[in-house]
Structures are given as C-alpha cells and as structure tokens.
Amino acid sequence: MTSKKLGLIVNPIAGMGGKVGLKGTDGRDILEKARALGAEPVSPARAVKALRRIAAAAPEIEIVAYAGEMGADECRECGLRPLVVGESKAGGTDAADTRKAAKDMLRANVDLVLFAGGDGTARDVYGVVGDGIPILGIPTGVKIHSAVFATSPENAGNLAAEYLGDDSAQVRVRAAEVMDIDEQAFRENRLSARLYGYARAPYLHAMIQSAKAGAAVSEDASLAALGHQFTHAMEDDVLYVIGPGTTTRHITDALGIGGTLLGVDAVRNRKLIGADLNESQLLALVEGVPAKIVVTVIGGQGYVFGRGNQQISARVIRKVGKENIVIVTTINKIFALQGKPLLVDTGDDDTDSLLAGYVRVLTGPDESTMLRIAS
C-alpha cells in the first residue's frame, strides 16, 4: 500500500492570549501585549500530543512539516523525521506565514493538512486549500468554534492516523463549518461571528467537535428566572468566579452589576470585585478564600472548560476544587448534544481526569439533571 502524506502546520502563538484574558492573538500588537502579561506558548506542546499518537499508531505515514516551530521542531521532538518545507521564522508568526505554509502543502500533494491553532488558523488554511484537501485542526487556540477541530490534541492524532492509515475506509469525510469571530469586537464585549465556508474534514463521531451553537431566544425567560434564583442562593463572603457566555450573563444581570459578557468576572457579597480577569488575577483572588466557579456549556459542542474560558485554568480549578464548580445550561443545549458527554480540555491531563464523571447541571429554576464529563 502506498504511504499517504500528512501535511503539518503549527501556529506557535495560537492560544497565548487565553489565560491572560486577551481572547486571541491576532495581530502583532496583541501578541506583544500577551507576552508582556506573561503568556507562554501552548500550541507546540499540544501539537506534540497529537504527533505522539500518530507516531505510535501509524509510523508509516509520510509527514511533510513546515520549517522550525511551525511543525518540524514538534516532529523531531517526537522522534519523527519529516520532509521539511518552507523557511523557519523566529519571533512569532502571522496569518501570512500560515497561508504560505498551506500553499507549500498544496505543492507537496499531501492527503491531509493537520494544523495546530484556533479559528483564525483554520480560516487561513481553508482560505488557501478550499475544499481541495481535507483539513483537521488540533485545538490550541482561544477561539475554537469551527467544526474542523478534533475534541482534543490526542484525538486529532488518532483521527489523522485512522484517516491516513490502513483503516481509512472507517473514516468518512464531511463538510465542516469554518467560522471566525472579530477579535476586536470580542474584546469590546460584542460577539460578531462569520461563516467563511465549508471545508472537507475527516469525521468520527467521538473525535470531532461540532460548530458552536447559540441558545434559543425562547429560553431567555427560563434563564432569567434561574439567574434570579441563583443570586438569592449566593453565600455571603464566598467568591464567585463567573465564566463567559449569555447563560451566565443572566446571573450578573440579576445582580444588576454589569460585568462582561465574554470575559471572566468575580463577585463577592453580590458585588462585582473584578471584571474581565486573567488567570493570574483569578489565582490571586481565590487564594485562601472560599470560592465557587460558575460556567456554562458551549452549545453544540459540550465543552465546559478549555474553549473561550482558558482564564479559568487548571491551576484555578484545582485551587477552587471540583466540588465548588457550578454548571448552568439549558435543556435545548443538552438535547443538541444528542447523547454526547460534556467535555473538558484544560491542557492538563490530571485536571481533566479529576473533572471526569457525573456532575449536576442546573437547567432552570428548581431544575437540574446529571450529565457525564468525559476527559
């Protein structure tokens, strides 16, 4: 059997803005701000997790990697010897580098482009390859709304190996949404999303995520009632870390304190004590005090942690404790999961395992259900 080619592109700066609360790293100025806030690269290590699965499951696959930290370095860390294309660029990459890498993958006639990044990277890769070559994302960015991403780096590697290996007939290719949001609007507390097209992507039910879906307008009354009930039950002198989203926004609306729709806020004694907080600020606030984390479920995907709320990091979660996590969502979002479990992707395997298992999820005033979190 002729060995198939895997094209690898790593966006090494993807995800750096997550823990520091910048909601992305599009643009040189935002990248420099992220670094000034102490942001560290996350994409290379997550790409390595995927590559280790490929090396173990399908070592016969020929890998074409972009030079330097955009792919070749990560391959070598796993003991792989890729065909290297392109030129190494130190000091940070940009969208033009991703597009150039995608063009080189086209010239190399790869059978699948595996990329590490977020929605911006997916958009850049798709903008070059279109529907000519299947693409698959290793989730490493802050914004991961597109349906071309695997549910985890490990599953990206597993799926790529299956698609390019001897059992490729078991994997179908589907049309998957490529979406991206306006980062500047996102930082200004406005969500402006756009569908850029439909890429071809390998698909196995348990390994690939769906596109993000919003809540129905008809659910607002129930969520508002839940928000009011939740605020009345808030404990005095307990710090509440409120995650982003329209669902959790009903809690801060009920308190009448404002807050940020797309950031992470902190509330104590029903007063806002911090808005749009990053990981280091949250760690300082929860240190030595009773605290709870309130998060929602991403519609259509089922993520509780690791998508859009990276500020609530594994370190923050461990300080607060699993028993002090409150999940709120709507019945319609649960139905939309079609029996899939909830997901977490904190970037720390031990924390993901800690969070796994059955949890109570609030769905309305005096209403809740038990759902399973799969690591």
Provide the pLDDT for residue 1.
46
Provide the pLDDT for residue 264.
95
Provide the pLDDT for residue 287.
96
Closest CA to 294 of 191, 284, 282: 282
Distance CA 108, CA 64 (A): 8
Domain boundaries of the chain, sorted by first residue: 5-203, 217-374
Burial state string for 188-224 with b = 16 or more CB within 10 A and e = fewer than 16: eeeeebeeeebbbbbbeeebbbbbbeebeeebeebbe
**3-state SS assignment for residue 32:** helix
Q: Work out the angle between the directed axes of helices 246-255 and 220-232 (0-180°, nearest 10).
A: 50
- The tens digit of pLDDT for each residue in 154-183 reads 999 999 999 998 766 678 899 999 988 765
Residue type, 16: M
Provide the pLDDT for residue 217.
45
Enter the tokens of residue 92: 């940070």
Distance CA 186, CA 276 (A): 12
Distance CA 82, CA 149 (A): 23
* CATH fold of the domain at 217-374: Rossmann fold (3.40.50)
Closest CA to 196 of 176, 216, 212, 215: 176
5-203, superfamily in CATH?
Answer: Probable inorganic polyphosphate/atp-NAD kinase; domain 1 (3.40.50.10330)
Q: What is the pTM of this model?
A: 0.75
Block means of pLDDT (10 residues each) for the chain, 375 residues, are: 84 82 64 73 93 93 96 96 88 85 96 95 95 95 87 95 81 89 57 79 84 57 85 95 91 89 93 95 97 92 92 97 95 84 94 96 89 89
Closest CA to 174 of 125, 127, 208: 208
Provide the pLDDT for residue 194.
76
Q: Which residues pair with 266 in a beta bridge?
A: 241, 274
Angle at 228 between CA 226 and CA 230, to 5 degrees: 65
Provide the pLDDT for residue 191.
56
Burial state string for 257-282 with b = 16 or more CB within 10 A and e = fewer than 16: bebbbbbbbbbbeeebebbbbbbbbb
Residue type, 61: I
Residue type, 99: R
Distance CA 16, CA 14 (A): 6
Closest CA to 130 of 55, 201, 224, 210: 201
Residue 70 is given by DSSP the state G
State the Cα torsion 131-136-139-144 to the nearest 10°.
20
Provide the pLDDT for residue 340.
87
